[in-house]
Structure 1
Amino acid sequence: MAHNLADLFEHAVDAYGADRLAVVEDERRLTYADLEAEANRWASALSSLGVGAGDHVGVHLRNGVDCLALILGVLKLRAVTISINYRYSGPELRYLYDYSDTSVLVFHREFGAAVTEAVSGLDAIRHTIVVEDGSGVDTLPDGALPARETLDAASAGRPGLERSGDDLYLVFTGGTTGKPKGVMWRQEDLWRSLGGGADYHTGEPVPDEYHQSKAGLGGDPLRYLILLPLIHTSGIMPSFTGLFAGGTMHYLPHFRAADVLEEIESEKIQVAVVAGDAMVRPLVDQMRRTEPDTSSMFMVSSGAALFSPSVKADLLGLRPDLMIMDAFGSSESGFGGLGVVTKANLDDGSLFSDHGPRIPRGTTLQLVDDLDEPLPDDSAEIGWIVKSGYQPSGYYKDEAKSAETFREVAGSRRVFTGDRGRYDGPDTIIMLGRASQVINSGGEKIFAEEVEAALKAVAGIEDAVVFGVPDERFGHRVGAVVQWSAPSPDGSPASPDSTSDAAGHPGDLDAVGLALREHLAGFKIPVAYWVVDRVERHPSSKTDYGWARRLVAERAPDHDRRTDAAGTA
């Protein structure tokens, strides 16, 4: 047997069968045997449509049983899943379908109109399959096959294929700074990096491919609530890790704070997988209002998005016994580092510097200068964070970008993560932020993520995006899009959950600037602000910088200190 994601899942099925619950979505509760039967039906149905090894299947679905079973079914055929951002529409969606060479597309009915427009004239898409979701959308592509009828006619037997650890898994970047790109991973390397196939701290491989399924036999299954989208590695890889070890995965198709806390309370969830501030802030506000019983939960695991110290402190203030796992990484680097946060080490300030989080270097992270030369451990210079170890083979259909991102340093291949950092002793790196979001203001380098974290810590601000705006004197200054917290029923500031359409209350942006000066140098304070009802983010909760750029291009700022005679630089 190979170190292949489908094989590893089948090992878990062989170990747990019909005796253990694998996945829960509302009233759908499938054992490991049930989940495999559904995945096998997907494999059989797709095979009957001509899908085989190496073919690309688009997954345009929200979280749930159908999404998970489809992904497993595609992998069983040695085919390749194409993760579709379900917030895309029009040209973005058409570009991704075309660029990814999708040949069969599976989508939820709610996306029918966008899918119909995007697939028109794309001859490479041979078949479309619609999964019912109760939305009642009428517009569907011609010839779209009904998923349930197609699956009911398919075989539930396990495909008899010999797979390989070399089988391709394509991970798609969020397209935060441009068009999305496919990152090509060998499945064994992806498993080693993000699926529990190696120790996260040392990189030491597990003894064999049965290690995880055997380990899960020793006790009761862990109950996970996966709130990150399965179309993103931060959602699917924790799901695989949990399934390989016999855990039970819980999914909600939509993120609503009240529904999340109800699921935690009623299902006795133990581990919640979230996307930093974007999910935890509304959860904290809902916990304050309703005081649910979350005592079953002992861990919150975050990835893919900023999880600022102020929001961690708010959560630990309500649940001081919680452990927070804050993972650092990307589609290109895989696992990059792990911060373990408790109330004790958050209170003592050891996890964060004045500029960013401290992350353990482990055996894979290093800093290099602009000439790709390694920086000494005692260097105070800001460098590029590079990673060795398990990594992708490159970008799909982009040799030039592959050569730029994956290159030799001191005789070994490294991933250039695009992040900037500074050593903080021999074992730790202070992560400063993405180089693509650095603002050069009169020669001063300002990291957008530092300013975003400071803005989110200001009372009354729910969310923020920071970027450079042109400036005649300094070249660029700091600009920000901000979302005010909506007032709670008792009049105190509170965050709306992700489905609220309440417009934020008017705020005092001069007061925001004064509050920021307690934590930031003056040149880092935004000079221009755009106020919005909601900051738009990708399904993974990563910042949608494309949306922010379009916004500032279309309208003047709501407040600009440079045009105020009382404003000071």
Structure 2
Amino acid sequence: MRDDVVQASSVLAHPPERVWEVVGAPERYSRFVPEISWCEVVEPASPGRGPRCLIRLRPRRGELVEEQIHAVVHRSGEHVVWRGVADERSWVSVELHPLPDSRTELVARLMLPSPRAELSRSALKRSVQEIARRIDRHLSGDPAPPEDPQRNKATTLRTASTLVRAGVLSAGRPDKVARQLTSLAQWGATLAGGYQAAAGRAPAEPALHDERCARTFGQTEERSNRLANALAERGVRPRDRVALMCRNHAAMVESFIACGKLGADVVLLNTGLSASAVAKVIAVHQPVAVLADDEFARVITDVRGEFLRVSTWPEAEAGYPTVDELIAGAKPARRKPVDRPGRIVVLTSGTTGVPKGARRPTPKGVGAAAALLDRIPLRSGDRIVVAAPLFHTWGLAAMQIGMALRASLALVRRFDAEETLRTIAEQRCDALFAVPIMLQRILDLPSRIRGRYDLSSLRIVASSGSAMSGAFVHEFTETFGDVLYNLYGSTEVSWASIADPDDLRAAPTTAGRCPLGTRVAILDEDRRPVPPGGEGQIFVGNEMLFDGYTDGGSLPRAHDLMATGDVGYVDADGRLFVTGRADEMIVSGGENVFPRPVEEALMALPGVYEVAVVGVPDTEYGQRLAAYIVPRRNARLHAEDIRAYIHQRLARFAVPRDVYFVPELPRNATGKVLKRLLNDDTWPMDPDGGLAPVWPGH
């Protein structure tokens, strides 16, 4: 053997044909090999020719490497040799030798020319043995070994260290620090307590900015005191419910804080709800007051019931008192701390009908802020553009984390891509909180328009709310640099994981890693941990799991964790990946199929702007997939080409039988695709088989 070839071997307790299920599936390598973060088959194997793949790998002490590889030897169940396309001096050989008792010897040989030849023979041997153990456990169905419970625990020291690094805890004038700490001690880590603490520490610093006004922390404190007193005079009491139907602006935040000072629960109404849905939500939750922007006045007027109506964004004479009028006529006296902090009710996204109310927990302390700051490096005093709706869990998180950081929030009432860039440039903003469809609209702007704005101050673009395709992540990162952070979570579990720029460079579709104090487990149908590399339902544990739905329902729990309703897996380096919604899985010809991998593959096609894949009934196979595609401008796509493209990259049963070209996808107010509407006969589409028309605007 040549001196520069490193060899190692290990014995597995399974026959070669079983081991080949992993060795012969390069798209699954990242689940077993920590150094491989991504492997995508770009040309499948065919008779006499092995597959060709795009691979990203990171030696333990090296930089991320991306290259194409192809299998120059590919004997099923026996031997595969991977060689670099650009550099044929690099190759890896894996041979499977049958042993007695249905065992297999796995022999790995590695040739990595300098300067990438970093693995010693002893290191390679250890690595091969570790990989072999993962494969063995996977094939045996043995659960993955439990994580060290202390590994990600939110200890007092780690929490304090995170908060000090972000500037949440910092030295200052003794009297101001005392006022800050007293407010937090009396009111807790609530919006009322946080903004009162910020006013005590930095009253003259900017707190809120919208298209009509700017407020300091001191002004926000006084106005919310007056508003709380005005609402109390009109009958709002502790534990009453107050509904808010507002877009992002200062009056909404002030109303939020005022309700907290009264100990009233806030019900956040989605601005995209239909009039009938609003009426149903109000009938279920029975608020004593509804504070709404004037554009929703007609919706609120038509709702039956006796409750106080207040205008939060006056545009015309609606006949209701405005927030400013209530504030002007009320006393500025501070409210006394309440026995029970007001709770927040967030409506679920409502993709399957009328949304349910989810009771958000009151943070037990500043640990909730530390969890996000552990993975997203925001700092005290940052200027944050909040484009995500405040009624949405992600917009709410932006407001809560901004409160802890004493950040200045630039509130975007109606999202416009160019106006958002103008705000970032003019106010020298450090961060943007948005949902993925907003980032897509920014990316859609012509480069000449994006180039008008100086975005050099922008360090963080924090996104959540729906999945981002790998193609989008790559394009956004190439355009704006390593600023993208993606949070995976839900209304019910808050957060599960956060992907930072390093994660997204390594694996663009990853949901990232758990923040401080959060645990994720992948469980099977019997609520047992799956083997290494296995898929299962995603369960999450943290201190911000919701308190249940307002109708008394909840979500399944196991091992002190809560179900997300999603299915996924964890790769060998600890990154979480979401395969799809459990309720979206279909069974086609006896095979389990998820739409999301098909959507991911289609989004890589240059002519595809957006795509949604759903399951539909099939008389022969039980169910089949249907793809709804929004083409890019001037793109000409044919349904048969779409099917052929997927057939090359995914299994036969993942090929969509039906392909429709549509001008847009139905979405709710937060940009989430409403897949239930795609099967509606009234939704516009081109029949299967035709060329995609040239839709304007994409």
The SS at the match of 2:599 is: helix
Moved more, 524-533 or 440-449: 524-533
Alignment-derived partner of residue 567 in structure 1: none
Q: CA deviation at 1:199?
A: 6.5
The separation in 2 between residues aligned to 1:432 and 1:288, in whole angstroms, is 33
- Tell me which of 249, 252, 259 is aligned to 1:74: 259
Structure 2 counterpart SS, 1:477 = strand
Structure 2 equivalent of residue 454 of structure 1: 601
**Cα distance between partner residues in 2 of 1:146 and 1:27:** 15
Offset, 1:518 = 4.9
Q: Does 1:330 align with 2:490?
A: yes
Inter-partner Cα distance in structure 1 for 2:311 and 2:676: 29
Residues 76, 27 of structure 1: CA spacing in aligned structure 2 closer, same or farther, 3 A cutoff?
same
* Distance in 1 (alpha carbons) for counterparts of 2:454 and 2:645: 34
Counterpart code for 1:311: F
Which of 167, 175, 200 lines up with 1:14 in the alignment? 200
Question: What are the ranges of 5 or more consecutive residues in structure 1 without an aligned counterpart?
Answer: 203-211, 488-492, 494-504, 563-569
Structure 1 position 365 matched with structure 2 position 520: yes
Contact 2:210/2:249 (8 A) holds in 1: yes
1:266 aligns with 2:452: no
Q: Deviations over 1:455-504 (max 9, x none)?
A: 3333233323221111111111112333333x4xxxxx6xxxxxxxxxxx
Structure 2 segments unaligned to the other structure (5+ residues): 1-185, 691-698
Supply the distance in 1 between the matched residues of 2:654 and 2:371 (Cα, whole angstroms): 40
Shift of 1:8: 2.1
Which of residues 614, 621, 624 in structure 2 aligns to 1:474? 621
- TM-score w.r.t. length of structure 1: 0.81
Which residue number in structure 2 is paired with residue 339 of structure 1?
Answer: 499
Distance 2:544 2:403 in 1: 23
Instruction: Confirm or deny that 1:289 pairs with 2:448.
Output: yes
Distance in 2 between the 1:267 and 1:426 partners?
39
Over 3 Å counting, the alpha-carbon distance change for 1:458 and 1:537 in structure 2 is: same
Among 330, 348, 372, the alignment partner of 1:154 is: 330
- Is 1:183 equivalent to 2:358 in the alignment? yes
CA separation in 2, counterparts of 1:375 and 1:361? 18
> Structure 2: how far apart are the matches of 1:364 and 1:483?
37
Change (3 A) 1:110 1:191: farther
Pairing of 1:371-390 with structure 2 (within 5 A): 371-376=526-531, 378=532, 380-390=533-543
* Structure with max Cα Rg: 2
Structure 2 residue 351 is the aligned partner of structure 1 residue 351: no
CA distance in 2, matches of 1:366, 1:360: 12
Deviation of 1:105 after TM superposition, in Å, equals 0.6
Aligned amino acid, residue 102 of structure 1: P
Q: 2:574 aligns with which of 416, 427, 452?
A: 427
Deviation at 1:189, TM superposition (A): 4.8
Q: Does 1:46 align with 2:207?
A: no
- Quote how far apart the aligned CAs of 1:156 are: 3.3
C-alpha distance in structure 1 between counterparts of 2:683 and 2:507, whole Å: 39
Percent identity between the two aligned chains: 22
Runs of 4+, deviation exceeding 6 Å: none
Query: Does residue 256 in structure 1 map to residue 416 in structure 2?
Result: yes
Q: Give the match's secondary structure for 2:500.
A: strand
CA distance in 2, matches of 1:442, 1:189: 49
> How far off its partner does 1:230 sit?
0.4
Change (3 A) 1:539 1:155: farther
How far the C-alpha of 1:231 sits from its partner, in A, is 0.6
In structure 2, the CA distance between the partners of 1:393 and 1:293, relative to structure 1 (3 Å rule), is closer
Matched, 1:33 2:218: yes
1:170 matched to which residue of 2? 345
Q: Any idea what SS the aligned residue of 1:422 has?
A: strand
State the secondary structure of the residue aligned to 1:144.
coil
Question: In 1, Cα distance between the equivalents of 2:412 and 2:666?
Answer: 20
Mapping of 1:200-349 within 5 angstroms?
216=380, 221-276=381-436, 278-286=437-445, 288-290=447-449, 291=451, 292-320=453-481, 322-342=482-502, 346-347=504-505
Once the two structures are superposed, the pairs formed by residues 388-403 of structure 1 within 5 Å of their partners are: 388-392=541-545, 394-399=547-552, 401-402=553-554
Q: Deviations over 1:102-148 (max 9, x none)?
A: 2211111112222223x1x3x2x4111123453x4x7x5xx633333
CA RMSD in angstroms comes to 2.7
Give CA deviations for 1:204-231 in whole Å, capped at 9, x if unaligned.
xxxxxxxx9xx83xxxx21111110001
Kept in 1: contact 2:187–2:337 (CA 8 A): no
Is the contact between residue 242 and residue 265 of structure 2 (CA under 8 Å) also seen in structure 1? yes
CA distance in 2, matches of 1:514, 1:249: 48
Shift of residue 158 of structure 1? 2.5
Cα distance change of structure 1 residues 455 and 89 upon mapping to structure 2, 3 Å threshold? same
Aligned to 1:497: none
Deviation at 1:307, TM superposition (A): 1.8
Cα distance change, pair 558–148 in 1 and its aligned pair in 2 (3 A): same
The alignment status of 1:130 with 2:311, answered yes or no, reads yes
Matched residue of 1:359: which SS? coil
1:60 to 226, 245, 253: 245
SS at match of 2:286: coil
| Matches of 2:419 and 2:652, distance apart in 1 | 41
